[in-house]
Structure 1
């Protein structure tokens, strides 16, 4: 087992000219965890990864690995290894020399480095291909070579920049399982950048959702799914409807929200700082077709789209001042009572399914 470094990012910013790519973020990644940095393009996740690796200078703040401040260290001295999106394999070298390359740069003799490279290829189930060149391999095999090359230095943390984006959907799912297994067996810290919610949910112990250079939420996947911290997280993860409106009442851990030219809704939680507007989230898979049990827990709207998904059906509904409200209904419930586009239907949900969202303080 390797030692696994805790990664501590302390008030780190990255500024390019007048653009702030990463805006004073702080984050602790415990040693030996699988952490996914998730967010839309341009949210700062790759810049953050590259600052941990040392491939990008830090404008302000510090990065610590274990108890060492590595802010000014070159990449080779950090105890991290980076696996790039493009794999960046050397076409003219066979797999053994590709994997052993960093050991060659460190001046380790040929027999020792080739023996270690063979061990790494064995770990990746590629020893049969040792004498081949990258062009003679499939995408999934090339990826495993890139992983072996990154891991040969015994890093305390492996940094992965969208490692699965070039693979076809079936291979992606297989490689996801491989990565998780590898991280668990090596016991080192993995930090993985992705824009796929599904990938992050499947892999991570901690999901860090970034937007506009800032961290919106950093938590276990289940917490992110069930209790999104902000409207951005709820929308980005795609499993909640977000309703914004004016606060008309807030007491006893509940809040009443009024939508412009629409209905009133009740949600659990309060907005703490007593702003006059707020956002609430309602789980898409907890919405039912049928009249609400009480006021504020449903509305009547018109069906704008019906999408069959096999085990479930996704309905889009407009009404009560809300555009594009999503309900995910099980196939059994839907086909027992099918609805068509243009039909007016009542939607409802339970009290515990509507939560008040927080807001990032600027």
Structure 2
């Protein structure tokens, strides 16, 4: 197997008439990286993947695979392979012939291509089902056949379009583990489109969060979760509260800002914000504690709107003046030692170290 190559997108743009689907995206994916393109429907992630594959033309910009600009090359000459969401297996062919199909199209003789197909099926642990047809396989097995078929061309990068979306939750976790193990074994880059935050966090070396055709943040999963770049990333990744307001004053390396309801909070003065400037902060839901009293600048009194039991934690949704949607994760034992009720007013507090200043969104 080839050990892959760096993939670089240079100011890649895609327009459909007047509609802008991908807006001047630049990204470098080092070889051997498991990269997830993550975002809501319509954010441009699948279009970006298809442009890397060559299944979608590029309006402006370039795609580079290693030293080669592949922008105008057809898919078969790019050194990438794509696994489609539908799997697209041929129902009349058995598993081994499905996997060997691309080699047949290249004129490889039958014994050579079948031997290579069996090698690929062994890699995905399906060699014992070589003679079955797709209809005789489970969804997870069909997915692995599609994976083997993509890998038989010895690609430098494998592109996966929502590969786990059709699987049930238990199988998703199992196949997810197999994908990561396979990627490490092959040593090539996997570029995987998903709208699942959990999937991206579990699999990725590099998470690329997209919104409105642009990249909001590209970083390691832990960086994206602990230091979301923008309010969009903080909200999309979940488990963060975002507070938005305008700067009222500055003192001692911090700014005071007010939300529309008149409540004031503090934020680190990292950006030299002037009075009147917009400011947004994120505070993780598990860093907020139920307090005896509100700490000025680092707390609020919220009215309990909803309570959800999640096993090891209890999610409490609250509202406050100028803050419609605020959540707190309370450890299960702590919650049931002192339960809360809907309609109850609760003082909440956090520390200055728990505050993360957000940047304006590039998609705004």
TM over 0.5: yes
Secondary structure of the corresponding residue to residue 112 of structure 2? helix
**Residues in 2 aligned to 1:51 and 1:16: alpha-carbon distance in whole angstroms:** 13
**Residues in 2 aligned to 1:323 and 1:94: alpha-carbon distance in whole angstroms:** 56
| Conservation of the 8 A alpha-carbon contact between 2:180 and 2:203 | yes
**Residues in 2 aligned to 1:288 and 1:161: alpha-carbon distance in whole angstroms:** 40
**Residues in 2 aligned to 1:78 and 1:15: alpha-carbon distance in whole angstroms:** 22
| Conservation of the 8 A alpha-carbon contact between 2:63 and 2:71 | yes
| Conservation of the 8 A alpha-carbon contact between 1:299 and 1:320 | no
Secondary structure of the corresponding residue to residue 225 of structure 1? helix
Secondary structure of the corresponding residue to residue 76 of structure 2? helix
Secondary structure of the corresponding residue to residue 341 of structure 1? coil
**Residues in 1 aligned to 2:262 and 2:335: alpha-carbon distance in whole angstroms:** 26
Equivalences for residues 15-94 of structure 1 within 5 A: 15-94=15-94
| Conservation of the 8 A alpha-carbon contact between 2:294 and 2:347 | no
Q: Does 1:294 align with 2:266?
A: no
Question: 1:257: which partner in 2?
Answer: 257
**Residues in 1 aligned to 2:257 and 2:105: alpha-carbon distance in whole angstroms:** 63
Question: 1:158: which partner in 2?
Answer: 158
Q: Does 1:332 align with 2:333?
A: yes
**Residues in 2 aligned to 1:47 and 1:121: alpha-carbon distance in whole angstroms:** 29
**Residues in 1 aligned to 2:253 and 2:30: alpha-carbon distance in whole angstroms:** 33
Residues 292/31 of structure 1: CA separation in 2 closer, same or farther (3 Å cut): farther
Moved more, 265-274 or 289-298: 265-274
What is the TM-score of this pair, normalised by structure 1? 0.98
Secondary structure of the corresponding residue to residue 41 of structure 1? coil
Secondary structure of the corresponding residue to residue 107 of structure 2? coil
Question: 2:281: which partner in 1?
Answer: 280
User: What's the RMSD between the two structures over aligned residues?
Assistant: 1.3
Question: 1:268: which partner in 2?
Answer: 268
**Residues in 1 aligned to 2:250 and 2:131: alpha-carbon distance in whole angstroms:** 69
Residues 323/34 of structure 1: CA separation in 2 closer, same or farther (3 Å cut): same
| Conservation of the 8 A alpha-carbon contact between 1:32 and 1:188 | yes
Secondary structure of the corresponding residue to residue 56 of structure 1? coil
Question: 1:147: which partner in 2?
Answer: 147
Question: 2:316: which partner in 1?
Answer: 315
1:254 Cα shift?
A: 2.3
**Residues in 2 aligned to 1:253 and 1:63: alpha-carbon distance in whole angstroms:** 43
Secondary structure of the corresponding residue to residue 26 of structure 2? strand
1:268 Cα shift?
A: 2.6
Question: 2:240: which partner in 1?
Answer: 240
Secondary structure of the corresponding residue to residue 183 of structure 2? helix
**Residues in 2 aligned to 1:270 and 1:197: alpha-carbon distance in whole angstroms:** 28
1:319 Cα shift?
A: 1.1
Secondary structure of the corresponding residue to residue 8 of structure 1? strand
Question: 2:355: which partner in 1?
Answer: 354
Secondary structure of the corresponding residue to residue 121 of structure 2? helix
| Conservation of the 8 A alpha-carbon contact between 1:271 and 1:278 | no
The gaps in structure 1 that reach 5 residues or longer are: none
Moved over 6 A (4+): none
Q: Summarize deviations over 1:199-247 as a string: whole Å, max 9, x none.
A: 0000000000000000000000000000000000001001210011011
Question: 1:206: which partner in 2?
Answer: 206
**Residues in 1 aligned to 2:97 and 2:326: alpha-carbon distance in whole angstroms:** 55
Residues 350/124 of structure 1: CA separation in 2 closer, same or farther (3 Å cut): same
Q: Does 1:227 align with 2:227?
A: yes
Secondary structure of the corresponding residue to residue 314 of structure 1? strand
Equivalences for residues 149-188 of structure 1 within 5 A: 149-188=149-188
1:252 Cα shift?
A: 4.8
Secondary structure of the corresponding residue to residue 146 of structure 1? helix
What is the TM-score of this pair, normalised by structure 2? 0.97
Q: Summarize deviations over 1:156-188 as a string: whole Å, max 9, x none.
A: 000000000000000001111000000000000
1:249 Cα shift?
A: 2.3
**Residues in 2 aligned to 1:331 and 1:255: alpha-carbon distance in whole angstroms:** 35
Residues 45/251 of structure 1: CA separation in 2 closer, same or farther (3 Å cut): farther
